[in-house]
Amino acid sequence: MASTTIVQAEKGGAAAAVPPATTQEATTRSSSITKEDLAISQHEDASLEHASPEDPAFRKAELKVVTKLDLYVCPILIFNTAVSIFYPLYILAEFPAALIVKRLGFNRVIPTAALCWGIVCLGNGFVQNFSGLAACRVLLGGFEGFLFPSLTLMLANYYKRDEIGLRISYLFIAAAMASAFGGLIASGILYMDGVAGYPGWRWLYIIEGAATIAIALACYFAIPSSYTTAWFLTDADKAIMRRRTEITEAYSGGDGVYTKADLAMAIRDPKTYLHGVVQIMCLTVLYGFSVFLPIILRFGFGMTVKESQYLSIPVFFWGSAVYGVVAWGSDRMGRRFLACVAMVPLGVVGYAILLGGGDGRIAVGVKYFACFLIASCAWALGGGNLSWLSTNTAPDGKRAASIGLALSMGNIGGIVSGQIYPQTMAPNYYLGHAWSLGAVCISLVLWQVLRQLYYRREAGKEVLRQDGSAEATVDRSDCGVGYVYQH
């Protein structure tokens, strides 16, 4: 479990010397300044709300608002730092979760799901039989299934199309950091074996559950229902947020409430399923690599337990850093396809080295380098695919349903990844490496199909635009003439 602490410091300045004033003069002066400042503040708020997005003053103020969003919204993503092994209920929960969070609000669903997860995790430390353990594991999967779609949709609610890719990367980076340090933290907690008469594994669940409960309770107060109630935004900030909402209205396409028509649009749209199948491939690679890397290093490369744990950390850090850079570049250029496929060649080469290096044919150092190549694409694949779907789906209700369906389909990859790296395949793990290589290649092919699909749809819209079609003012979905896809 990872946690994030935000420390804010205020710089104090020396007070300038002023002539003494009477109490009445000071009161009059204070009242005058207060009224004048208030009038200026209200005027600035109004001017910002109606300013052009190209206005340098607006862009400067907007940058400050986005920075505040990064400081106060993104740390909430710490709840999705663990890779669930409870995939059946996890998969079943993600689609309804995406719809429920749009109805009940992020400020209710995210803390409640995290709180329930923490309570069940805490209870896991006190189970006495297999039935109790199985029940806890199933419930953990269900509650965790609410978190990822809720967090993804919360980001789409705050950020613009050209900002969402980097912010979704934070979810995957948090998972990578959990993979990097989770084993080390767990091994440290296991040293508490015998404390208060409990074995170390019970303390692992008790401490993680208690920490999650504490953070979840704090999030009831920290997560706002929308930017209008965000405690960390000033009135001027909210004016900018209103302007941002207007600018991205075609992308958001609604009032945030889904309808049956939105659900029907998501189900009927072929791109939902294409992105969903790609997500299966991506998460097969991601979960297979991130979960089994220490095992591959130990039994495949002949390292000790400590060496496999410690040498996993640089690989996870590298994968996170590469994905962060790719996501940032994707937002800057507005090129989603390029962000998805840019690291694919590195992944292909990495898996090819591992497949060709079995039975000691290639030095361990070269195979360890191949792990860095694979890490370069492992996290970028799934996050890039999800960002592409999110930026090309509207209105809000359709986006929620599409993301929920894609995530539910994608986590089938978690089931697959658990079966392709059996211990019987050590030390070469040909099955896992070959399957993952195939998944990367299938993703590349399907992204090409999606790219052509978006090009064809955009070409059809362009014909209607040239004809002066009025449909752009009627259809607010991504199929409308006024909606421009990102390729």
User: In this predicted structure, what is the pLDDT of residue 256?
Assistant: 55
Q: Which long-range contacts (CB under 8 A, 24 or more apart) does 351-360 make?
A: 351/433, 351/434, 351/436, 351/437, 351/440, 352/437, 354/429, 354/433, 355/430, 355/433, 355/434, 355/437, 358/427, 358/428, 358/430, 359/428
CA–CA dist 335, 384 (Å, integer): 10
User: In this predicted structure, what is the pLDDT of residue 43?
Assistant: 53
User: In this predicted structure, what is the pLDDT of residue 82?
Assistant: 34
The residue assigned the tokens 């990844």 is 417
CA–CA dist 307, 298 (Å, integer): 8
The answer, yes or no, to whether residue 147 has pLDDT greater than 80, is yes
Cβ neighbours around 474 below 10 Å, total: 10
Banded model confidence at residue 86, pLDDT cuts 50, 70, 90? low
Average pLDDT over residues 316-336: 91
The answer, yes or no, to whether residue 112 has pLDDT greater than 90, is yes
| 228 in Cβ contact with 126 (< 8 Å) | no
pLDDT digits (tens, 9 = 90+) for 36-50: 444 545 555 556 666
- The region, left, alpha or beta by phi > 0 then psi within -120 to 50, assigned to residue 334 is left
The answer, yes or no, to whether residue 453 has pLDDT greater than 70, is yes
Half-sphere exposure of 253 (CA within 13 A, CB side): 28
Banded model confidence at residue 11, pLDDT cuts 50, 70, 90? very low
DSSP state of 44: H
Cβ neighbours around 288 below 10 Å, total: 27
* pLDDT, the chain, mean: 81
Helix (H) or strand (E) holding 36: helix 23-49
User: In this predicted structure, what is the pLDDT of residue 210?
Assistant: 94
Helix (H) or strand (E) holding 174: helix 164-189
| Higher pLDDT, residue 233 or 55 | 233
DSSP state of 223: S
The answer, yes or no, to whether residue 310 has pLDDT greater than 50, is yes
Banded model confidence at residue 384, pLDDT cuts 50, 70, 90? very high
Of 169, 151, 171, the closest CA to residue 101 belongs to 151
| 119 in Cβ contact with 275 (< 8 Å) | no
Average pLDDT over residues 42-70: 72
CA–CA dist 227, 214 (Å, integer): 24
| Higher pLDDT, residue 101 or 448 | 448
Domain layout of the chain by residue ranges: 56-473
Of 116, 287, 122, 105, the closest CA to residue 205 belongs to 122
The answer, yes or no, to whether residue 399 has pLDDT greater than 50, is yes
| 1 in Cβ contact with 208 (< 8 Å) | yes
Cβ neighbours around 403 below 10 Å, total: 28
| Higher pLDDT, residue 433 or 106 | 433
378's tokens: 């492992």
Residues 6+ apart with CB under 8 A from 141: 84, 85, 86, 87, 88, 89, 90, 93
Domain 56-473 in CATH 1.10.1740.110? The answer is no
The least confident of 251-255, 327-331, 429-433, 458-462 is 251-255
The pTM of the full predicted model, rounded to 2 decimals, is: 0.78
Q: In the chain, pLDDT over 90 holds for what percent of residues?
A: 31
Banded model confidence at residue 463, pLDDT cuts 50, 70, 90? confident
Q: Hey, what amino acid is at 69? A: L
The answer, yes or no, to whether residue 456 has pLDDT greater than 80, is yes
Residue 12 vs residues 9, 15, 205, 233, 318: alpha-carbon distances, Å: 10, 9, 44, 21, 39
CA–CA dist 134, 286 (Å, integer): 25
Q: What are phi and psi of 209, to 5 degrees?
A: -65, -45
Three-state secondary structure of 81-108: CCCCCCHHHHHHHHHHHHHHHHHHCHHH
pLDDT digits (tens, 9 = 90+) for 218-229: 999 999 988 888
Residue positions counted in the chain: 487
| Higher pLDDT, residue 178 or 445 | 445
pLDDT digits (tens, 9 = 90+) for 158-190: 888 788 888 888 888 888 888 778 777 877 887
User: In this predicted structure, what is the pLDDT of residue 180?
Assistant: 77
Banded model confidence at residue 20, pLDDT cuts 50, 70, 90? very low
User: In this predicted structure, what is the pLDDT of residue 416?
Assistant: 87
The least confident of 13-27, 175-189, 314-328 is 13-27
